[in-house]
């Protein structure tokens, strides 16, 4: 009887396995159909169903899942790191277990290059979802590194609500430098103060720096000095012991002369120490110092070497400097094709400068064929990542008819969007000139409107707008003639902080 029962069990198990294999095959075919329709989400879901039925994967399933997920990721401007973590795991699995030199293997290897510099692991995602603070900080940093500052900000704010001091400091930095949002020094100061109240040295030093520069608060060098004097002994101690964040802070303090006597040599020494500890930002700082010859003899070849090291460590800004060097031929042999490769890599990491330079290269045909559509796509992606400069570039394209039909209305829309978001100086100036010179989209020349926008740019230090106001007061365009005010604006324009 036992033998009969065992035989029946094996027969049923075999039939079940055959049935599951048949269903898995159908799921794979459904995935292929979804892929042909560019429905990548359904493709991935069907392939996951197939893997569950088979209780394993295979080369065909894994390959299709990789290419589908890659297409899904590349189709959106703000990358989801959950998807990146999963595709990196699948790519490593494929290359490790199904190694060969066929076309699919090469394609998977090339796809892997898209995510080479995105430092995220599935384990970090899972731990962050469980509420692990350190893992959450890693995920937030990874989002910052790929230009998705809105997602990083969301994570940092959640961590701040739990009392995390570093999260408060990072939020302050996002507002101070306008990462994916408008620069807001007052908001930065509040967040830095919160970090400092939780005894984070970085937060206290940032508060002191804002008092020193007068950003977001009345300039108070006495208060700044008092704070620096209290914080620097502990800062030096922690930096000497290898705190790379504070090493970066000391580099900046010595470079700017905030809290310490300005000393480019010490800035170089601290950045070198950070670079030796593997800090990509410090490597990039060395590239800058060698490029401009501060604290060290100017050496463009050395500058390029350090930028290259920083780029290999994942610093997207350093990648832009490498591309610049290849385009100009300074510090390295001129090579437009290599410049394009680095710009594409930095663009995949969400670097808006890279996207905008890449867009310009597509317009001018530098290292590639002229491709207006790709140029437009680069500018749009950069704009969607929060770049006001990209909105201005899009406005300029429509204003000047650069690779598109002239459309002053479209140009004005992009300028207005940048103005609405951050009161962008260049957008204000350009919109002023649209009302001053052009007639489009049903709107006639309007000198009063032009004066309004030139004024808003001028009070922010724009010399071009100041000069234009001088002309308008001189000729009485949109304003009453006033020789005194005209001369005043012309004089201000000569010493303006922004000349073009």
- DSSP result, 416-464: HHHHHHH--HHHHHHHHHHHHH--BTTB---HHHHHHHHHHHHTTTBHH
Look-up of token digits 């042999």: 333
For residue 46, is it left (φ>0), alpha (ψ between -120 and 50) or beta? alpha
pLDDT at 269 over 60: yes
pLDDT at 491 over 60: yes
Nearest one of 212, 213, 168 to 191, comparing CA atoms: 168
- Mean pLDDT, residues 270-281 taken together: 96
pLDDT at 14 over 80: no
β-partners of residue 462 are 498
CA distances from 198 to 88, 176, 252 (A): 37, 19, 23
Contact 80, 66 (CB under 8 A): no
- Mean pLDDT, residues 104-117 taken together: 89
Residue 487 confidence (pLDDT): 94
- Give the integer Cα–Cα distance in Å for 498 and 500: 6
Contact 141, 174 (CB under 8 A): no
Lowest mean pLDDT among 287-291, 421-425, 443-447: 443-447
Residue 3 confidence (pLDDT): 57
Lowest mean pLDDT among 85-99, 249-263, 429-443, 481-495: 429-443
Half-sphere exposure (Cβ direction) of 153: Cα atoms closer than 13 Å: 15
Residue 2 confidence (pLDDT): 53
- DSSP result, 353-366: HHHHHHHHHHHHTS
Nearest one of 51, 50, 55, 46 to 13, comparing CA atoms: 55
pLDDT at 422 over 90: no
Residue 7 confidence (pLDDT): 56
The alpha-carbon radius of gyration of the chain (Å, integer) is 28
Which tokens belong to 351? Answer: 């670097």
pLDDT at 13 over 70: no
Mean pLDDT of the chain: 90
- Give the integer Cα–Cα distance in Å for 209 and 212: 5
pLDDT at 9 over 60: no
- Mean pLDDT, residues 63-79 taken together: 87
- Give the integer Cα–Cα distance in Å for 32 and 39: 10
Residue of higher predicted confidence among 332 and 25: 332
Residue 331 confidence (pLDDT): 95
Contact 30, 46 (CB under 8 A): yes
Residue of higher predicted confidence among 359 and 17: 359
Residue 315 confidence (pLDDT): 93
Contact 192, 210 (CB under 8 A): yes
Contact 177, 168 (CB under 8 A): no
Lowest mean pLDDT among 17-31, 107-121, 266-280, 457-471: 17-31
- Give the integer Cα–Cα distance in Å for 451 and 440: 18
Task: Return the percentage of the chain with pLDDT > 90, whole number.
Answer: 70
User: Strand, helix or coil at 48?
Assistant: helix
- Give the integer Cα–Cα distance in Å for 291 and 430: 32
- pLDDT tens figures, 343-402: 999 998 889 999 999 999 999 998 999 999 999 999 999 998 888 999 999 999 999 998
Residue 8 confidence (pLDDT): 46
CA 256, 261, 265, 267 dihedral sign is negative
Contact 375, 366 (CB under 8 A): no
Residue 469: count of CB within 10 angstroms of its CB: 28
For residue 387, is it left (φ>0), alpha (ψ between -120 and 50) or beta? beta
Contact 351, 331 (CB under 8 A): no
Lowest mean pLDDT among 113-122, 136-145, 422-431: 113-122
- pLDDT tens figures, 432-490: 999 998 764 546 788 999 999 999 999 999 999 999 999 999 999 999 999 999 999 99
- Give the integer Cα–Cα distance in Å for 268 and 351: 25
Contact 375, 344 (CB under 8 A): no
CA 89, 93, 94, 96 dihedral sign is positive
Measured in degrees and rounded to the nearest 5, phi and psi for residue 74 equal: -70, -15
pLDDT at 418 over 80: yes
pTM to 2 decimals?
0.82
| CB-based contacts of 221, cutoff 8 Å, min separation 6 | 211, 212
Q: Using CB atoms within 10 Å of the CB of residue 196, give its burial: 0 to 12 exposed, 13 to 18 middle, 19+ buried.
A: buried
Q: Using CB atoms within 10 Å of the CB of residue 23, give its burial: 0 to 12 exposed, 13 to 18 middle, 19+ buried.
A: middle
Residue 19 confidence (pLDDT): 62
Which tokens belong to 112? Answer: 């892997």
Torsion of CA 112, 379, 156, 321, to 10 degrees: 70
- At residue 146 the predicted structure's pLDDT band, cuts being 50, 70 and 90, is confident
β-partners of residue 440 are 443
- Give the integer Cα–Cα distance in Å for 301 and 308: 11
């Amino acid at each position: 009887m036992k033998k009969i029962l065992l035989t029946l069990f094996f027969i049923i198990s075999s039939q079940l396995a055959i049935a599951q294999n048949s269903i898995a095959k159908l799921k794979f075919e459904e995935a292929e159909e979804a892929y042909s329709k560019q429905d990548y989400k359904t493709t991935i879901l069907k392939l996951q169903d197939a893997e569950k039925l088979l209780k394993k994967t295979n080369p065909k399933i894994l390959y299709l899942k990789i290419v589908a997920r890659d297409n899904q990721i590349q189709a959106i401007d703000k990358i989801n790191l959950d998807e990146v973590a999963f595709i990196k795991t699948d790519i490593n699995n494929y290359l490790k277990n199904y190694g060969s030199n066929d076309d699919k293997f090469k394609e998977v290897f090339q796809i892997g290059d898209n995510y080479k510099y995105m430092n995220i692991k599935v384990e970090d995602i899972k731990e962050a979802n469980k509420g692990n603070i350190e893992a959450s900080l890693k995920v937030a940093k990874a989002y910052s590194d790929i230009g998705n500052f809105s997602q990083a900000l969301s994570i940092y704010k959640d961590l701040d609500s739990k009392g995390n001091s570093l999260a408060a400091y990072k939020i302050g930095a996002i507002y101070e430098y306008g990462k994916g949002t408008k620069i807001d020094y007052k908001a930065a100061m509040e967040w830095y103060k919160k970090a400092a109240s939780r005894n984070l040295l970085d937060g206290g030093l940032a508060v002191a720096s804002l008092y020193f520069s007068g950003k977001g608060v009345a300039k108070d060098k006495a208060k700044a000095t008092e704070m620096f004097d209290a914080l620097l002994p502990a800062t030096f101690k922690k930096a000497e012991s290898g705190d790379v964040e504070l090493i970066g802070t000391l580099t900046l303090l010595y470079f700017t002369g905030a809290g310490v006597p300005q000393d480019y040599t010490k800035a170089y020494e601290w950045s070198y120490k950070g670079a030796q500890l593997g800090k990509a930002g410090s490597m990039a700082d060395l590239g800058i110092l060698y490029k401009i010859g501060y604290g060290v003899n100017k050496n463009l070849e050395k500058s390029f070497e350090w930028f290259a090291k920083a780029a290999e460590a994942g610093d997207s800004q350093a990648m832009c400097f490498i591309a610049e060097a290849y385009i100009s031929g300074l510090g390295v042999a001129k090579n437009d094709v290599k410049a394009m490769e680095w710009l594409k890599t930095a663009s995949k990491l969400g670097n808006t400068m890279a996207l905008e330079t890449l867009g310009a290269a597509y317009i001018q045909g530098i290292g590639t064929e002229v491709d207006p559509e790709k140029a437009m796509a680069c500018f749009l992606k950069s704009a969607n990542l929060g770049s006001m400069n990209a909105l201005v570039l899009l406005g300029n394209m429509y204003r000047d008819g650069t690779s598109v039909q002239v459309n002053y209305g479209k140009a004005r829309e992009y300028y207005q969007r940048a103005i609405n978001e951050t009161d962008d100086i260049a957008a204000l100036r350009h919109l002023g000139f649209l009302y001053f010179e052009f007639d489009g989209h049903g709107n006639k020349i309007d000198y009063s409107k032009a004066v309004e926008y030139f004024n808003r740019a001028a009070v922010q230090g724009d010399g071009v707008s100041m000069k234009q106001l001088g002309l308008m007061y001189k000729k009485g365009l949109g304003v009453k003639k006033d020789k005194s005010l005209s001369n005043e604006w012309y004089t201000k324009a000569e010493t303006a902080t922004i000349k073009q």
